[in-house]
């Protein structure tokens, strides 16, 4: 019977998107496997939390050392399974994780230790309060394929250093990268039951959502995120959702066209555009519009598309056929509705099954799908605007609100516009790199999600906040206890006047009325 079950088990294939080669087949964890993993994690979590923050930080330091030693090996593994150039794997994945570990090593003890909480209310001056940061218990993480190392690793490190156990379900397209993360963590000293991997497809992810985890961290599409939120609401499971974006780039009339155009093509085409922080909408002041378009088109033509393991490659393949078809549909819809195709717009079948030419579109409008739906591919759609107010209105005309960027020589002007843009992050004169700033929170508003990863706020997502209050006079009855009576009400009126009345005289009269409370004898 066991053999029959093994034969019938669902399998997934890890595929090199550049070549279509099957790298490895893996069995999907079933519902019982997932529930068993969560149960083991729960049993192990208490001991992990008990060792204390300093010892957990020491494990992170060892993880960081081992990752640095294997940096090139890990980058190449990412490239084989996700397609991006090795240089990008090093900068946007390995570097990000090494620095996230650095941030937690330097700051986790300070951020997680008990925090004294002073009391301003005179009635509570004989109390001492403190905030305690306690781990949730078991954190479930469902991570995507586009950044298969940096996203799950940064979330996992924060959860682990806070004292949680983690059960990670990686994307079915990039399970081998997750296995590399698992190997690094266990070698660094994370107990095997404290960090576990459950490989599988959507069914495996659904089993994790419905298991007895204490918090769920999900990165993926809006549609899936909404379904997860509904499922989590059934038992009030806390969730952190990062659901992608349609990030706008605003190029103001005083911007440097050469610099901004270089930023635009990198921001649009990095990881073949498969980045939640990609420039998916670009708005350029009309006075710079044509020169900006020419610069983008010329620079895009110079990009070298190819296999990520080739060190000369700038843009690698897309992850799979389904994503490529979305890009084709968005470009076709835009051209049909009047957009100008300046560069690209077709597959590169001679390179492999999943390559698409980096594409620049001009004269796009918000009636086109490419300006409203997440494209997640190597396309830069550009539109003109006439005023700062119009640029902000266009930027905010979206269901998404993950990030945005503003390009200008006037930093104060850029900062003013940044405050008006509805997004979790706005960069002035830079793009995408906010994800690599370990101190900065990562997350969005509107349909881009709930909660924050990275930095102090990402660490706070991994703990429950508890307030602990100690009374300094444990043998004394509190004056506000029963029984009340008319005199007590008058004393309380006086006490309120003593603290909050306008004018010194009114406060002194209040203090005299309240003085009798000292002689009061509660039940």
Q: Report how many helices (DSSP H) and strands (DSSP E) the chain contains, helices first.
A: 18, 18
Q: Do you find a cis peptide bond into 483, omega within 30 degrees of 0?
A: yes
DSSP per-residue codes, 416-450:
HHHHHS-SSEEEES--SGGGG-TTS-B--SGGGEE
pLDDT in tens, 423-462: 999 999 999 999 999 999 999 999 999 999 999 999 999 9
Domain(s) of CATH 3.40.309.10: residues in the chain: 248-399+403-440
What average pLDDT does range 396-414 have in this prediction? 98
pLDDT in tens, 221-252: 999 999 999 999 999 999 999 999 999 999 99
Q: What pLDDT score does 8 carry? A: 54
Q: What pLDDT score does 311 carry? A: 96
CB 321, CB 353: distance < 8 Å = yes
CA distances to 86, 240, 430 from 450, rounded to whole Å, are 31, 6, 24
pLDDT in tens, 90-122: 999 999 999 999 999 999 999 999 999 999 998
Determine whether 276 is an active site residue.
yes
Residue identified by tokens 């591919």 is 377
pLDDT in tens, 323-368: 999 999 999 999 999 999 999 999 999 999 999 999 999 999 999 9
Helix axes 53-69 and 150-161, enclosed angle (nearest 10): 160
pLDDT confidence of 1, banded at 50, 70, 90?
A: very low
DSSP per-residue codes, 65-90:
HHHHHTHHHHHHHHHHHH---HHHHI
Whole-prediction pTM: 0.95
Q: Which of 182, 242, 280, 374 is catalytic?
A: 242
Q: Which of 28, 155, 180, 276 is catalytic?
A: 276
pLDDT in tens, 207-225: 999 999 999 999 999 999 9
* Dihedral in degrees, nearest 10, Cα atoms 299, 302, 307, 308: -50
Q: How far apart are CA 340 and CA 335, in angstroms?
A: 6
Pairing of the two strands 359-362 and 379-385: parallel
pLDDT confidence of 3, banded at 50, 70, 90?
A: very low
Domain(s) of CATH 3.40.605.10: residues in the chain: 31-244+457-466
Among the ranges given (86-90, 118-122, 201-205), the one the predictor scored with the smallest mean pLDDT: 118-122
Pairing of the two strands 22-27 and 11-15: antiparallel
Q: What pLDDT score does 385 carry? A: 98
Average pLDDT, the chain: 96
Q: What pLDDT score does 352 carry? A: 95
pLDDT in tens, 257-301: 999 999 999 999 999 999 999 999 999 999 999 999 999 999 999
pLDDT in tens, 487-510: 999 999 999 999 999 999 999 999
248-399+403-440 CATH = 3.40.309.10
pLDDT in tens, 35-60: 999 999 999 999 999 999 999 999 99
Say yes or no to pLDDT of 78 above 50: yes
Cα end-to-end span (Å), the chain: 70
CA distances to 273, 317, 398, 494 from 324, rounded to whole Å, are 11, 9, 23, 72
31-244+457-466 CATH = 3.40.605.10
Region label for 488, one of left (φ > 0), alpha (ψ between -120 and 50) or beta (otherwise) = alpha
Q: Return the number of other C-beta atoms located less than 10 Å from residue 334's C-beta.
A: 27
Q: How far apart are CA 371 and CA 283, in angstroms?
A: 11
CA distances to 16, 99, 331 from 188, rounded to whole Å, are 28, 17, 46
Residue 315 DSSP code:
B
What average pLDDT does range 383-409 have in this prediction? 98
Say yes or no to pLDDT of 146 above 60: yes
What average pLDDT does range 82-94 have in this prediction? 98
Q: How far apart are CA 85 and CA 307, in angstroms?
A: 7
């Amino acid at each position: 019977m066991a053999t029959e079950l093994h034969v019938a088990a669902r399998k997934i294939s890890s595929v090199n998107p550049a070549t279509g080669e099957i790298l490895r087949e893996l069995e999907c964890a079933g519902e019982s496997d997932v529930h068993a993993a969560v149960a083991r994690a729960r049993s192990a979590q208490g001991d992990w939390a008990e060792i204390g923050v300093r010892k957990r930080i020491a494990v992170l330091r060892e993880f960081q050392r081992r990752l640095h030693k294997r940096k090139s090996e890990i980058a190449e593994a990412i490239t084989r399974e996700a397609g991006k150039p090795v240089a990008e794997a090093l900068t946007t994945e390995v570097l990000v994780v090494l620095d996230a570990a650095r941030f937690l090593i330097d700051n986790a003890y300070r951020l997680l230790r008990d925090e004294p909480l002073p009391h301003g209310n005179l009635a509570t001056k004989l109390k001492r309060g403190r905030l305690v940061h306690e781990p949730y218990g078991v954190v479930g993480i469902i991570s995507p394929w586009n950044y298969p190392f940096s996203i799950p690793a940064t979330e996992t490190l924060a959860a682990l250093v806070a004292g949680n156990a983690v059960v990670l379900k990686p994307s079915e397209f990039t399970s081998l990268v997750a296995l590399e993360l698992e190997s690094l963590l266990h070698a660094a000293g994370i107990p095997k039951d404290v960090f576990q991997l459950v490989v599988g497809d959507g069914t495996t992810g659904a089993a994790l959502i419905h298991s007895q985890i204490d918090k769920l961290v999900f990165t993926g599409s809006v549609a899936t995120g909404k379904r997860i939120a509904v499922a989590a609401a059934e038992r009030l499971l806390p969730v952190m959702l990062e659901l992608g974006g349609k990030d706008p780039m605003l190029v103001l009339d005083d911007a440097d066209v050469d610099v901004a155009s270089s930023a635009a093509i990198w921001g649009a085409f990095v990881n073949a555009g498969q980045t939640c922080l990609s420039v998916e909408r670009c708005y350029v002041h009309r006075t710079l519009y044509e020169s900006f378009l020419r610069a983008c088109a010329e620079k895009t033509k110079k990009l070298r598309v190819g296999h990520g393991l080739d060190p000369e490659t700038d843009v690698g393949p897309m992850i799979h056929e389904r994503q490529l078809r979305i890009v084709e549909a968005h470009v076709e819809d835009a051209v049909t509705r009047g957009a100008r195709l300046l560069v690209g717009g077709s597959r590169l079948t001679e390179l492999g099954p999943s390559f698409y030419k980096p594409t620049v579109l001009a004269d796009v409008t918000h009636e086109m799908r490419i300006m409203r739906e997440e494209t997640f591919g190597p396309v830069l759609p550009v539109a003109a605007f006439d005023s700062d107010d119009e640029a902000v209105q266009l930027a905010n005309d979206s269901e998404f609100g993950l990030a945005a960027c503003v390009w200008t020589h006037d930093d104060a002007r850029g900062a003013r516009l940044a405050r008006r843009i509805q997004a979790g992050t706005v960069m002035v004169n830079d793009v995408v790199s906010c994800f690599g700033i370990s101190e900065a929170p990562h997350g969005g508003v509107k349909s881009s999600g709930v909660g924050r990863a990275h930095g102090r706020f990402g660490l706070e997502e991994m703990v429950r906040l508890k307030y602990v209050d100690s009374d300094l006079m444990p043998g004394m009855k509190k004056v506000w206890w029963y029984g009340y009576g008319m005199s007590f009400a008058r004393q309380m009126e006086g006490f309120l006047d003593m603290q909050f009345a306008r004018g010194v005289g009114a406060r002194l009269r209040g203090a005299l009325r309240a003085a009798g409370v000292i002689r009061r004898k509660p039940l």
